[in-house]
Amino acid sequence: QKIDVEIIYEDEYLAVVNKPKGLVVHPAPGNYENTLVNALLYKFEGGLSSINGIIRPGIVHRLDKDTSGLLVVAKNDEAHIKLSSALKTHEIKRIYYALVEGCMKENSGIINAPIGRHPKNRLKMAVVNNGKYAITSFEVIKRYKDYTFLKLHLKTGRTHQIRVHLSYIGYPIVGDELYGREKNPFDVKGQVLHAGEIEFVHPIYNKLMIFK
Protein backbone atom coordinates (compact mmCIF):
# COMPACT_ATOMS: atom_id res chain seq x y z
CA GLN A 1 0.00 0.00 0.00
CA LYS A 2 1.15 3.54 -0.69
CA ILE A 3 1.69 4.80 2.86
CA ASP A 4 4.08 7.67 3.55
CA VAL A 5 6.99 6.44 5.71
CA GLU A 6 10.24 8.34 6.26
CA ILE A 7 13.28 6.39 5.05
CA ILE A 8 16.35 7.58 7.00
CA TYR A 9 18.84 5.40 5.11
CA GLU A 10 18.70 2.83 2.33
CA ASP A 11 21.12 0.63 0.38
CA GLU A 12 20.68 -2.66 -1.48
CA TYR A 13 20.84 -4.74 1.72
CA LEU A 14 18.89 -2.82 4.36
CA ALA A 15 16.92 0.28 5.23
CA VAL A 16 16.43 2.33 8.39
CA VAL A 17 12.97 3.82 8.76
CA ASN A 18 11.44 6.33 11.16
CA LYS A 19 8.16 4.64 12.12
CA PRO A 20 5.37 7.06 13.00
CA LYS A 21 3.23 6.64 16.11
CA GLY A 22 0.04 4.70 15.45
CA LEU A 23 1.43 2.49 12.66
CA VAL A 24 1.47 -1.28 13.27
CA VAL A 25 4.76 -2.89 12.12
CA HIS A 26 3.44 -6.02 10.42
CA PRO A 27 0.11 -7.68 9.53
CA ALA A 28 -1.58 -9.92 12.10
CA PRO A 29 -4.90 -11.76 12.26
CA GLY A 30 -7.64 -9.17 11.88
CA ASN A 31 -5.25 -6.47 10.70
CA TYR A 32 -3.74 -7.20 7.30
CA GLU A 33 -3.68 -3.65 5.93
CA ASN A 34 -2.17 -0.25 6.74
CA THR A 35 1.01 -1.62 8.34
CA LEU A 36 4.67 -0.72 7.96
CA VAL A 37 5.24 -3.96 6.01
CA ASN A 38 2.51 -2.97 3.52
CA ALA A 39 4.22 0.40 3.10
CA LEU A 40 7.71 -1.09 2.63
CA LEU A 41 6.56 -3.75 0.14
CA TYR A 42 5.12 -0.93 -1.98
CA LYS A 43 8.15 1.34 -1.50
CA PHE A 44 10.76 -1.35 -2.28
CA GLU A 45 8.59 -3.13 -4.88
CA GLY A 46 8.57 -6.33 -2.83
CA GLY A 47 12.33 -6.24 -2.20
CA LEU A 48 12.44 -7.47 1.41
CA SER A 49 13.96 -10.59 2.99
CA SER A 50 11.84 -13.75 3.13
CA ILE A 51 13.14 -15.11 6.47
CA ASN A 52 9.93 -14.37 8.38
CA GLY A 53 7.58 -15.45 5.60
CA ILE A 54 4.90 -13.41 3.86
CA ILE A 55 3.49 -11.83 7.04
CA ARG A 56 6.71 -10.27 8.36
CA PRO A 57 9.12 -9.87 5.41
CA GLY A 58 12.24 -7.85 6.28
CA ILE A 59 11.28 -7.35 9.92
CA VAL A 60 14.33 -7.90 12.15
CA HIS A 61 12.89 -6.25 15.28
CA ARG A 62 9.63 -4.52 16.15
CA LEU A 63 8.26 -1.41 17.79
CA ASP A 64 4.83 -1.29 19.43
CA LYS A 65 2.08 0.42 17.43
CA ASP A 66 2.26 3.65 19.46
CA THR A 67 6.06 3.69 19.87
CA SER A 68 7.65 5.89 17.22
CA GLY A 69 11.19 5.87 15.92
CA LEU A 70 14.02 4.01 14.25
CA LEU A 71 13.69 0.50 12.91
CA VAL A 72 16.16 -1.43 10.72
CA VAL A 73 14.67 -3.70 8.03
CA ALA A 74 16.46 -6.28 5.89
CA LYS A 75 16.15 -6.25 2.11
CA ASN A 76 17.64 -9.71 1.56
CA ASP A 77 18.08 -12.94 3.51
CA GLU A 78 21.83 -12.66 4.11
CA ALA A 79 21.46 -9.25 5.72
CA HIS A 80 18.48 -10.49 7.74
CA ILE A 81 20.33 -13.52 9.16
CA LYS A 82 23.33 -11.40 10.20
CA LEU A 83 21.22 -8.60 11.69
CA SER A 84 19.11 -11.13 13.65
CA SER A 85 22.28 -12.71 14.99
CA ALA A 86 23.60 -9.28 16.05
CA LEU A 87 20.30 -8.58 17.79
CA LYS A 88 20.47 -11.86 19.74
CA THR A 89 24.04 -11.15 20.89
CA HIS A 90 23.12 -7.57 21.88
CA GLU A 91 25.39 -6.02 19.24
CA ILE A 92 22.62 -3.71 18.02
CA LYS A 93 22.46 -0.73 20.38
CA ARG A 94 19.06 0.91 20.79
CA ILE A 95 18.38 4.14 22.69
CA TYR A 96 14.85 5.26 23.57
CA TYR A 97 13.35 8.44 25.03
CA ALA A 98 10.25 8.56 27.23
CA LEU A 99 8.21 10.99 29.29
CA VAL A 100 7.11 9.29 32.52
CA GLU A 101 4.67 10.04 35.32
CA GLY A 102 6.33 11.25 38.52
CA CYS A 103 9.53 13.12 39.38
CA MET A 104 12.31 10.52 39.54
CA LYS A 105 14.81 11.02 42.37
CA GLU A 106 17.65 8.91 40.93
CA ASN A 107 19.82 10.36 38.16
CA SER A 108 20.31 6.92 36.61
CA GLY A 109 19.72 3.26 37.27
CA ILE A 110 19.34 -0.28 35.97
CA ILE A 111 16.09 -2.26 36.04
CA ASN A 112 16.83 -6.00 36.14
CA ALA A 113 13.51 -7.84 36.33
CA PRO A 114 12.27 -10.88 34.36
CA ILE A 115 9.33 -10.36 32.00
CA GLY A 116 6.63 -12.84 31.00
CA ARG A 117 2.95 -13.00 30.14
CA HIS A 118 0.68 -11.39 32.76
CA PRO A 119 -0.91 -14.18 34.85
CA LYS A 120 -4.44 -12.75 34.54
CA ASN A 121 -4.51 -10.40 31.52
CA ARG A 122 -3.27 -12.11 28.33
CA LEU A 123 -2.95 -8.75 26.54
CA LYS A 124 -0.30 -7.60 29.03
CA MET A 125 3.24 -8.55 29.96
CA ALA A 126 4.46 -8.33 33.56
CA VAL A 127 7.44 -8.81 35.84
CA VAL A 128 7.08 -12.47 36.86
CA ASN A 129 9.39 -14.93 38.61
CA ASN A 130 9.53 -17.38 35.70
CA GLY A 131 9.83 -14.66 33.05
CA LYS A 132 12.66 -14.07 30.59
CA TYR A 133 15.79 -12.19 31.63
CA ALA A 134 15.28 -8.46 30.92
CA ILE A 135 17.49 -5.43 31.60
CA THR A 136 16.76 -1.75 30.94
CA SER A 137 19.07 1.08 31.98
CA PHE A 138 17.90 4.70 32.30
CA GLU A 139 19.20 8.19 32.91
CA VAL A 140 17.34 11.40 33.65
CA ILE A 141 17.53 14.09 30.97
CA LYS A 142 15.17 16.58 32.61
CA ARG A 143 12.86 16.75 35.62
CA TYR A 144 9.53 18.54 35.69
CA LYS A 145 7.15 19.08 38.61
CA ASP A 146 5.19 15.87 38.06
CA TYR A 147 7.07 14.22 35.17
CA THR A 148 10.56 13.07 34.15
CA PHE A 149 12.10 12.91 30.68
CA LEU A 150 14.29 9.80 30.38
CA LYS A 151 16.90 8.30 28.08
CA LEU A 152 16.74 4.48 28.09
CA HIS A 153 19.02 1.74 26.81
CA LEU A 154 17.69 -1.74 26.05
CA LYS A 155 20.07 -4.56 26.97
CA THR A 156 17.41 -7.12 26.02
CA GLY A 157 14.35 -6.80 23.79
CA ARG A 158 11.35 -8.37 25.49
CA THR A 159 7.80 -7.54 24.43
CA HIS A 160 6.71 -4.21 26.00
CA GLN A 161 9.96 -4.24 28.01
CA ILE A 162 10.43 -0.51 28.66
CA ARG A 163 6.73 0.00 29.33
CA VAL A 164 6.59 -2.91 31.81
CA HIS A 165 9.85 -2.01 33.58
CA LEU A 166 8.98 1.67 34.06
CA SER A 167 5.51 0.82 35.35
CA TYR A 168 7.07 -1.78 37.67
CA ILE A 169 9.29 0.82 39.37
CA GLY A 170 6.38 3.26 39.70
CA TYR A 171 7.03 5.61 36.77
CA PRO A 172 4.65 4.56 33.95
CA ILE A 173 5.00 6.25 30.57
CA VAL A 174 2.64 9.14 29.87
CA GLY A 175 -0.19 7.99 27.59
CA ASP A 176 0.34 4.27 28.27
CA GLU A 177 -3.21 3.12 29.00
CA LEU A 178 -2.17 -0.54 29.28
CA TYR A 179 0.51 -0.10 31.97
CA GLY A 180 -0.22 3.37 33.37
CA ARG A 181 -3.12 5.76 33.79
CA GLU A 182 -6.11 5.76 31.48
CA LYS A 183 -6.05 9.56 31.21
CA ASN A 184 -3.37 12.27 31.27
CA PRO A 185 -3.62 16.08 31.29
CA PHE A 186 -2.06 16.29 27.81
CA ASP A 187 -4.82 14.09 26.32
CA VAL A 188 -2.13 11.91 24.72
CA LYS A 189 -3.27 8.52 23.45
CA GLY A 190 -0.58 5.84 23.44
CA GLN A 191 2.77 5.82 25.23
CA VAL A 192 5.15 8.78 24.78
CA LEU A 193 8.06 6.53 23.81
CA HIS A 194 10.46 7.14 20.93
CA ALA A 195 13.27 4.93 19.55
CA GLY A 196 15.63 7.83 18.98
CA GLU A 197 18.97 6.13 18.24
CA ILE A 198 20.16 2.86 16.71
CA GLU A 199 23.73 1.67 16.23
CA PHE A 200 24.97 -1.48 14.50
CA VAL A 201 27.70 -2.87 12.25
CA HIS A 202 26.53 -3.16 8.65
CA PRO A 203 26.00 -6.90 7.97
CA ILE A 204 27.66 -6.79 4.54
CA TYR A 205 29.94 -3.72 4.46
CA ASN A 206 31.15 -4.27 8.06
CA LYS A 207 30.96 -0.51 8.75
CA LEU A 208 29.66 1.01 11.99
CA MET A 209 26.30 2.65 11.30
CA ILE A 210 24.84 5.19 13.74
CA PHE A 211 21.44 6.81 13.24
CA LYS A 212 19.77 9.40 15.46
Confidence bin at 54 (pLDDT 50/70/90): low
Calpha distance 176→182 (Å, rounded): 7
How do residues 26-46 score in pLDDT, each as one tens digit? 877 666 778 888 888 888 887
Is residue 179 within 8 A of residue 173, CB to CB? The reply is yes
How do residues 161-183 score in pLDDT, each as one tens digit? 999 999 999 999 999 999 999 89
Single out the residue of 152, 33, 23 nearest to residue 95, CA to CA. 152
Task: Give the residue ranges of DSSP H helices in 68-189.
Answer: 77-88, 161-168
What is the set of active-site residues? 64
pLDDT at 43: 86
What b-and-e string marks burial along 138-164, b requiring 16 or more CB atoms within 10 Å of the CB? bebeeeeeebbbbbbbbbeebebbbbb
Name the amino acid, one letter, at 19. Answer: K
Q: Indicate the average pLDDT of the chain.
A: 92
User: What pTM was estimated for this model as a whole?
Assistant: 0.91
Is residue 47 within 8 A of residue 12, CB to CB? The reply is no
Calpha distance 111→82 (Å, rounded): 28
Is residue 58 within 8 A of residue 73, CB to CB? The reply is yes
Is residue 83 within 8 A of residue 92, CB to CB? The reply is yes
- Phi and psi based region of residue 117 (left: phi greater than 0; alpha: psi -120 to 50; beta: remaining): beta
